[in-house]
Amino acid sequence: MTSLTLKTKLALLTTVVLWGSAFVAIRAALQDYSPGGLALLRLLISSIAIYFVLFRSRKERSPIKKRDLFRVLFAGAIGIGFYNIALNYGEILVPSGMASFIVSQIPVVTTLLAILFLGEKINRIGLLGMCLSAIGVGLIALGHRGEFGFYVSIVYVIFACFAVGCYNILQKPLLQRYKAMHLTAYAIWGGTLVLLVFIPNLIHDLQHTTLKATAIVFYLGLFPGVIGYTTWSYALSTIPASRAASFLYFMPVFATLIGWIWLDEIPALIALVGACVALLGVWIVNHSYKRLVKVSATH
């Protein structure tokens, strides 16, 4: 076990804030873009931007070996490509705050997959913290009365949640051999490839969209896209996947605040209480890891 360094904390904070804002930005952009067109343009922007960042000099080149290339592209196709299209379709009806509440269950999915496939462990206190955070997220969801129905859109958002969980597990072993920036680049390119089927949708959208909506898509591609995925990959390279994923419980908090300011999605009091409970759960999870570090150091 490793303790959280300042760089890791900053990487996690950056990821959570940017990804939290993405839920609100997607909801706003969908007013002019189709789900497929939005997802493709966002990733095209990310793909071009990260290419120039990664290959700005020959010294920075560190191509993925052929034996790992398919795995990286596959991880990107699922965790970035399928995630984006599923989330976009989900947010047609599901409010941005609600979508973030559902996606915040990623830590549960990632932890279960990490235990099954990566051999990671979590003690009883950690499990208690995870459960407490889940209860907090549930309270937040209850704050959106009448929203938690049998929408097909919710199924899309749940699918997006599982897609990111799979992405975390597929990417984790590769972070021991490659830099986070390189893996992020190839993953984004893999996600872009599977979305090329939406080229007709994008062409149609660009003919009828507004400058404001396009600017929002550029924000999504550059900030939650390139920067957010890079800082997330860095965090995964320094701490266990299940521990890093526990910080994603902060996303609904930031998404709710940004949605409140930007889209006037005012949360109910019970939602604010749930946010506090979720934050307490995250603290307990991290406290449990600190205890595991101390126990491991004495053996």
Name the DSSP letter for residue 4: P
Cα distances (angstroms) measured from residue 54 to each of 179, 183, 226: 11, 11, 11
The per-residue pLDDT for 251 is: 82
Band of residue 286 on the pLDDT scale cut at 50, 70, 90 = low
Buried b or exposed e, range 33-44, using 16+ CB within 10 angstroms:
bbbbbbbbbbbb
- Of 224, 252, 247, 220, give the one whose Cα is nearest residue 97: 252
Kindly write down the DSSP assignment for every residue of 91-126, as one continuous string.
TTTS-HHHHHHHHTTHHHHHHHHIIIII-----HHH
Q: For residue range 108-128, what is the model confidence (pLDDT) as tens digits?
A: 777 777 777 767 777 787 788
Does residue 221 have a pLDDT over 90? yes
Q: Which residue has the higher pLDDT, 292 or 78?
A: 78
Which amino acid, residue 240? Answer: P
Average pLDDT score over residue span 82-102: 87
d(CA 244, CA 233): 10
pLDDT in tens, 127-185: 887 788 778 777 776 766 555 544 577 788 889 988 988 888 888 788 788 877 788 88
Q: How far apart are CA 135 and CA 277, in angstroms?
A: 7
Whole-angstrom Cα distance, residue 71 to residue 291?
Answer: 34
CA distances from 284 to 63, 123, 127 (A): 39, 11, 9
pLDDT at 144: 61
Which residues, including other chains, have CB under 8 Å from residue 58's CB and lie 6 or more apart?
none
> What are 50's two structure tokens?
């990260």
**Residue 288 confidence class, pLDDT cut points 50, 70, 90:** low
In contact, 100 and 258? CB cutoff 8 Å:
no
Please tell me the distance from the alpha carbon of residue 170 to that of residue 274, in angstroms, as a whole number.
Answer: 31
* Residue 78 confidence (pLDDT) above 90: yes
Computed on alpha carbons and rounded to an integer, the radius of gyration of the chain in Å comes to 19
pLDDT band at 73 (very low <50, low <70, confident <90, very high): very high
Distance CA 192, CA 254 (A): 27
Whole-number pLDDT of residue 198? 97
Cα 244 to the center of its chain, rounded Å = 11
Give the integer Cα–Cα distance in Å for 144 and 32.
25
CA distance 230 to 49: 12
Rounded distance, CA 21 to CA 119, Å?
A: 33
Average pLDDT, the chain: 81
**Cα 61 from Cα 186, distance rounded (Å):** 12
Residue 27 has a pLDDT of 93
Query: In angstroms, rounded to a whole number, what is the distance separating the alpha carbons of residues 184 and 224?
Result: 12
Angle at 134 between CA 132 and CA 140, to 5 degrees: 105
pLDDT at 61: 56
pLDDT at position 147: 52
